[in-house]
Structure 1
């Protein structure tokens, strides 16, 4: 039996009126803003703050994102954004986010971040200390 995966963070938020479109549903671009907010909460949980993360000598930029909408979110919904580290490569990492309402997954988001030098914004490998922090939160390999 596989143990359920545990999120790095679970960030609560309430949908604000201005985030909804004419149909009364959260406008699609706001879901990326929600996961971006959660990614900063991950940095806070792992490194203490975004500034502390930057002090390690690297930053991250979004290279790719994919959203799957399973159920609509509306004004005043109480949501939870859960962040999971899914992959750690040499110069990139992948996160999976679940946006839930009352335990129901409404949206699944996958984001690939690339580590960059903050001064040049060029792709770089993270220092070993950063890699170790993230590696500790990778899912356990499954037996095949």
Structure 2
């Protein structure tokens, strides 16, 4: 599934070196993940019905180029790997415009955890199917 999530870069998200603070990359990716899952039919309300949630297990950020305040960015989200209890999403952050530029890549692995416990459990079968690349 091809998916893109828009971001408007704010002055407060850029550090003195002119680079997006790492925490903002992760916040953007979390918002993009939820929009991606919603489009696949697994938004927050549906996941609550599944009695579980996808929690960050591991995150990697690879910076490539800077974004500036007032830039428009686009986060392209794709499922990179789908396992039994976890899945990995690739988030490519592009500077939007006539000549798009890849600015960062965030690869985040999420583990499925049952509601009310800190125990990982199998992904719901319908979620696995929705995430599995065709």
Q: If the length of structure 1 is used for normalisation, what is the TM-score?
A: 0.84
Mapped pair 1:99 → 2:93: yes
Q: Give 1:37's aligned residue.
A: 31
1:120-135 mapped onto 2 (5 Å cutoff): 120-135=117-132
Q: Considering fraction of residues, name the structure with more strand.
A: 2
Deviations along 1:49-97, whole A, 9 cap, x unmatched?
3111221222110000111111011211100011000101111111111
Residue 105 of structure 2: which of 105, 108, 115 is its match?
108
Mapped pair 1:60 → 2:54: yes
Aligned-CA RMSD value: 1.5
In structure 1, runs of 5+ residues without a counterpart are 1-5
Deviations along 1:100-130, whole A, 9 cap, x unmatched?
0132110011101001102113100022222
Q: Is the 8 A contact 2:42 2:127 kept in 1?
A: no
What is the number of equivalent residue pairs in this alignment?
Answer: 131
Using the TM superposition, name which of 85-94 and 42-51 deviates more: 42-51
In structure 2, runs of 5+ residues without a counterpart are none
Mapped pair 1:78 → 2:75: no
Q: Secondary structure at the match of 2:94?
A: strand
Q: Is the 8 A contact 2:4 2:76 kept in 1?
A: yes
